[in-house]
Amino acid sequence: MVRVRNAVVALGVIAVFAAFAGGCKKDQPAGANDTGDIVIGEYASLTGTTATFGNSTHRGVQMAIDDANAAGGVNGRKLRLVVEDDQSKPDIARTVVTKLITQDKAVAILGEVASTRSMAAAPVCQQYKVPMISPASTNPAVTDAGDYILRVCFTDDFQAAVVGYFAYEQGYRKAAIFKDIKNDYSVAFAANFAKEFTKRGGTIVGEQVFQEGDTDFKAQLTSLSAAKPDAVLIPGYYSEVGTIARQAREVGLKVPLLGGDGWDSPKLVPGAGGPGGALEGCFFSNHYFSKDLKEEATQQFLAAFKKKYDTDPDALAALGYDAGKLLVDALKRAGSTDSAKLRDAIAATKDFPGVTGKITLDEKRNARKAALILQVKGDRFGVFKSYRPEEIGQ
């Protein structure tokens, strides 16, 4: 009996201690690690087929976190970025995001760029109720995984429509499409392009598919060439687009090639045979970031990025920076790392001054921003046009 009583007392003491410890933990809510740092997880394609996407984005994210720490951290605590390489593979994306949440206790996840990988990992974030902010995934369905999934970029309902609208404005009336059938971004981009282009009065005269990793595209390109298009849309990633462009020219398909943000890489032009090669003069849509833009925010970011990394940023770096900055801002507004409060603060973002444009998240947790049409000129991408959603009736 005495023993039992002691045990009960002991339990009581433990309970009181636990309650006290819990009280102390108010300043260090779920997600805090032992040192009191706020852990932020990032998953990115640091290696693999689309390694320039991950490395570029990561530099932008790291810069945002370093900036915040240099300014004293958030609510008196330092931020610690833990980055995991998903090797450009969806299944590994899922695994590393699980690790970031369950082992590193990340309070938020930044990533991914490729829609297919964001869609693979988003359900994990949703399940654990850890907010995930994608810097650059544009497939409309990415945020459908749930209310903890948000993004700082526009979607392909808009981006691909811009390319469809632009193609018609250029005078093209017959377009062909060559898409990556296993890539969620590519498939949705093709559909949204076709919708806008045909709505304006254009015709899709041919459609063929490829898969990431393919190296011989000549059979499909020959068939597309026979349909005599005025332009060919290739909504793929730089990893295949260069080779496709070279082989298109080899089979006699000489018309302008069109693409989207997936072309944005320092490796695009080298893959197409270098400056003046198979992609010279071709067009692709991209997020609102370019060295050519005179905006003060652009020029400031450019200078700071160059100073830190001794190289120019691409749009991915700018989007990574915006995603990181917006998260820091939301952590401050939430005044807490509590996941529901943090999610609500991110979702409530309004007129956030991003480098890639003003960011206001809508009810589907997407951003509405302007897009650029860039033209390949030598080894540079020149700003050819820009479109705001209203300008194309969105």
Q: Taking contact as CB under 6 A, which single stretch among the options 92-100, 103-111, 260-268, 277-285 is the one that binds ligand PHE? A: 260-268
- The label of the residue with tokens 């392009």 reads 193
Question: Should residue 155 be labelled a site residue for ligand PHE when binding is judged by CB under 6 A?
Answer: no
**136 vs 282 by CB, closer to ligand PHE:** 136
The string of DSSP letters for 213-280 reads: T----HHHHHHHHHT--SEEE----HHHHHHHHHHHHHTT--S-EEE-GGG-STTHHHHTTSTTSTTT
List, in sequence order, the alpha helices (H) in the chain.
2-24, 51-70, 90-102, 115-128, 156-169, 184-200, 218-226, 238-250, 268-271, 296-309, 315-334, 339-347
391: which DSSP letter? G
Which stretch in 8-16, 30-38, 137-145, 365-373 sits in contact with ligand PHE by CB under 6 A?
Answer: 137-145
Q: How far is the CB of 112 from ligand PHE (least distance, A)?
A: 8
Identify which range of 1-9, 101-109, 212-220, 259-267 contacts ligand PHE by CB under 6 A: 259-267
- What minimum distance in Å lies between the beta carbon of 330 and ligand PHE? 22
- DSSP conformational letter for 367: B
CA atoms within 13 A on the CB side of 378: 2
Among 88, 115, 192, 243, binds ligand PHE (CB under 6 A): 115
Q: Which residue is nearest to ligand PHE (CB)?
A: 185
- Is residue 324 involved in binding ligand PHE (CB under 6 A)? no
Residue 273 backbone zone (phi > 0: left; psi -120 to 50: alpha; other: beta): left
CB 113, min distance to ligand PHE, A: 5
Residue 119 CB, nearest approach to ligand PHE (Å): 9
Binding segment for ligand PHE (CB under 6 A), chosen from 125-133, 224-232, 257-265, 293-301, is 257-265
Main-chain phi, psi angles of 376, to 5 degrees: -75, 120
Of 262, 313, 324, 357, the one binding ligand PHE by CB under 6 A: 262
Interface characters, 267-306, with ligand PHE (x: CB under 6 A):
----------------------------------------
**CA–CA distance, 25 with 142 (Å, rounded to integer):** 34
Cα-flanking dihedrals φ and ψ of residue 20, to 5°?
Answer: -65, -45
Q: Which is nearer to ligand PHE, 79 or 367 (CB)?
A: 367
Q: Which tokens is 221 given?
A: 């390109």
Kindly state whether residue 261 participates in binding ligand PHE, applying the rule CB under 6 A: yes
Instruction: Supply the minimum distance, in Å, between the C-beta of residue 335 and ligand PHE.
Output: 32
Residue 316 interacting with ligand PHE (CB under 6 A): yes
Structure tokens that stand for 314 in this block:
């691409």
Candidates 114, 248, 323, 374: give the one binding ligand PHE (CB under 6 A): 114
Which of 195/341 has CB closer to ligand PHE? 195
- The site map against ligand PHE for 36-55 (x = CB under 6 A) is -----------------x--
For ligand PHE, which is the closer residue by CB, 285 or 339?
A: 285
Measured on CA atoms in the order 218, 247, 314, 357, is the torsion positive or negative? negative
Residue whose CB is less far from ligand PHE, 148 or 288: 288
Q: At its nearest, how many Å lie between ligand PHE and the CB of residue 49?
A: 12
Contacts with ligand PHE in 50-79 (CB under 6 A)? 53
Smallest separation (angstroms) from ligand PHE to the CB of 209: 16
| Pairwise CA distance, residues 106 & 40, whole Å | 5
Contact flag: residue 139 with ligand PHE (CB under 6 A): yes
Q: Which residue from 39, 68, 113, 224 is in contact with ligand PHE, where contact means CB under 6 A?
A: 113
CB count within 10 Å of CB 108 equals: 29
Q: Does 86 bind ligand PHE (CB under 6 A)?
A: no
Q: Is 185 in the site for ligand PHE (CB under 6 A)?
A: yes
What is the chain's length? Answer: 394
Please provide residue 353's backbone torsions phi and psi, each rounded to the nearest 5 degrees: -75, 85
Mark 210-246 as b/e (b = at least 16 C-beta within 10 Å): bebeeeebeebbbebbebebbbbbbbbbbbbbbbbbb
Biggest alpha carbon–alpha carbon distance for the chain: 94
Write out the residues near ligand PHE by the rule CB under 6 A: 53, 113-115, 136-139, 185, 261-262, 264, 315-316
